[in-house]
Structure 1
């Protein structure tokens, strides 16, 4: 009887863990994959209908990135005041409302405010969700804990894949306004899953407050590499759909491209985890950054649909693994008590890079080189980030 009770308790714990990880991953998918990155799917239709320049289109993502930077800076004090669970849920609600509201206006100043808001909420939710995921997996065996964290970080890829299926047909048939409604509804669906999961969180985990200061000196080169990566990565994500649309891609092709990008981000990042674990440190970070560089450059250098999808596989397969690899670098040079602060610090560096990438790419795209010039500067920035990662000192902390 005791054995049966023990087995039942173990199954219940496993079921609760699955629900928690699924709900937190849904939050990550909603605020990043749907609330932020899916803008690239709506951008071509908005630009054509509202007669925007590429600089204006890039400005909306730059403002979103500024919001993400502000949210990364605010995440720790917000969590300290509200607790991680409340911070996550409130940020999710704000993000969903901002996405839905984008359907109701064509005024650039209002859209800028909404993109700023979704950026702030996205960062707070992503950092709070990461902290909660780390907390609930702290007592698991290392491999299971790494898998759960890896699944959480695949959330944006899941959101990209879902939006890739749902949004292009809506844009094509009904226009960009209804596409924003679709994205908002999907964000609300993610919120429901997260609420169900959050109710299962232990009280100590739900109210956990981040404390302590992180020594930044061991992470200087990593922060630089991750910040530059943020600029190059966001330039690609902002204008890649505009690029293939201008090159003649039709809605089914756009859907397939975005789906491949998202699914490769989920599938290959999980499959690559053992390899990244063996490489460790700067070599793992440089490898993943190198693949994003090749993927971004391929799109510009080689014309045609085959190059588009090869780019989606290479870039999509590596861009989420960068987060895992960079986090692993931080874990090697800092004690566990500082890992949460390290994630926040790296997120701030990444967000700062995101502020520069879309605007720079947009300005270049408005000039003679067109969108390929904007994507090219993204590839160059990714190459620089790869080199910067190789300078990171990988000695473990003492």
Structure 2
């Protein structure tokens, strides 16, 4: 995980100038999350080989989202029982195991179960990782804390780039019908590399190893209804784009080279832009930050509907990729600034649950629409519209209470 040096976090939770953080730490978690996102590269081949409908292909991603929802609900209790670091590292191991097991699987039920388990483990890693990163920013300015969150999330771009470089050549050589198994294996092997640094990275954060009694008792969820609603809609729209945009590119005759370039551009945009978003988000109050990022994501999601071939597709990857991971940074920054440190974990878990609920419904809804109403273009249009609506709702989120003491 990326962030400041451990020594930089050992300070009282009082406002005031903070010393500059040390060098950023590597983040194993986003590489694993990107392996889940890269399922969009493999779904067309799985659908062809296993004779699935668009709705069944969407159900596979919905199963992963259902597991993510379940994981978000149990993470606060799990983190309190075994500690943030143990939950982070244990979840990383579980994600790698499920990816390895997916490669030889064939049955629809077995693949659904594996995607559920991967979602549970992924949520455990994501939430504890974000919680640990939020602790890294404790005592720093809002801008510095948002940048730390942005750098952590931007690590997902690295996983997307690696996936885009590794998977399309495999599909090109072995063919989509046989190559999807090798693709899952490649993703698993890439994720294994992250295990070498997971424990070390978690140890760099000077946060309490186990939640204190009453720490995860609750948080003022009513104050965050706009954030919860907009994040749910983002989950609906974003996962639909990720799931079906590759299918649209393939259907419009773009080969593996263009698809791989699309994925690499999306990942590189995430790496380069999300930390920059952190600086801007640290200066915005309330829901203004999430609304701005969501508006950009909506524009990027709509671009493939314009046609224009590979140039427009790559522009979509640039715009969408440059902003979609920043939504996570923006929403987390809102909670971090408005709540005391003891409530960061439960708040992140609840927001993640709302996002995961959207992910559960998104692929199935857009898959059904794609089956019944004009193909994947209809599903992608719905995706862009939902994200645009999320941007409008986010504007209703109020900023932090001026009387609250930071951290």
- Pair in the same fold by TM > 0.5: yes
- 2:371 paired with 1:366: yes
- Per the alignment, residue 101 of structure 2 pairs with 101
SS at match of 1:394: coil
The residue aligned with 2:82 is 82
2:305 to 284, 300, 303: 300
Give SS of 1:218's match. Answer: helix
CA contact under 8 A between 1:235 and 1:361: conserved in structure 2?
Answer: yes
The Cα of 1:200 is off from its aligned counterpart by: 5.1
Moved more, 133-142 or 168-177: 133-142
Structure 2 equivalent of residue 163 of structure 1: 163
Q: 1:389 is matched with which residue?
A: 394
Distance in structure 2 (CA, Å) of the matches to 1:390 and 1:134: 23
1:10 is displaced (CA, Å) by 8.1
Q: Give the Cα separation in 2 of the matches to 1:248 and 1:291.
A: 27
Q: How does 1:150-189 map to 2 (within 5 A)?
A: 150-174=150-174, 175-189=179-193
Partner of 1:122: 122
Question: Aligned to 1:311, which of 289, 312, 316?
Answer: 316
**Structure 1 residue 159, shift from structure 2 partner:** 1.4
The match for 1:276 is 281
Aligned residues of 1:289 and 1:382 also touching (Cα < 8 A): yes
TM-score, normalised with respect to structure 1: 0.90
Q: Deviations over 1:29-80 (max 9, x none)?
A: 21x101x111001111111112211111000000100000000001111111
Which residue matches 1:291? 296
Counterpart CA distance in 2 for 1:185 and 1:173 is: 19
Q: How many residue pairs were aligned?
A: 382
Aligned to 1:33: 34
- Give 1:328 shift: 2.6
Q: Secondary structure of 2:299's match?
A: helix
| Partner of residue 199, structure 2 | 195
**CA displacement, residues 173-194 of structure 1 (integer Å, 9 cap, x when unaligned):** 1311111111111111111121
Query: How far apart are 1:281 and its partner, in Å?
Result: 2.2
Among residues 220, 226, 239, which one is paired with 1:215 in the alignment? Answer: 220
For the 8 Å contact 2:216–2:343, the answer to whether it is kept is: no
Rounded Cα–Cα distance in structure 1 between residues aligned with 2:399 and 2:205: 35
Q: Distance in 2 between matches of 1:379 and 1:144?
A: 31
Long gaps (5+) in structure 2:
1-5, 11-18
1:199 shift after superposition: 5.0
Tell me by how many angstroms 1:350 deviates: 0.5
Residue 262 of structure 1: aligned partner? 267
Match of 1:112 in 2: 112
Root-mean-square deviation (CA), in Å? 2.3
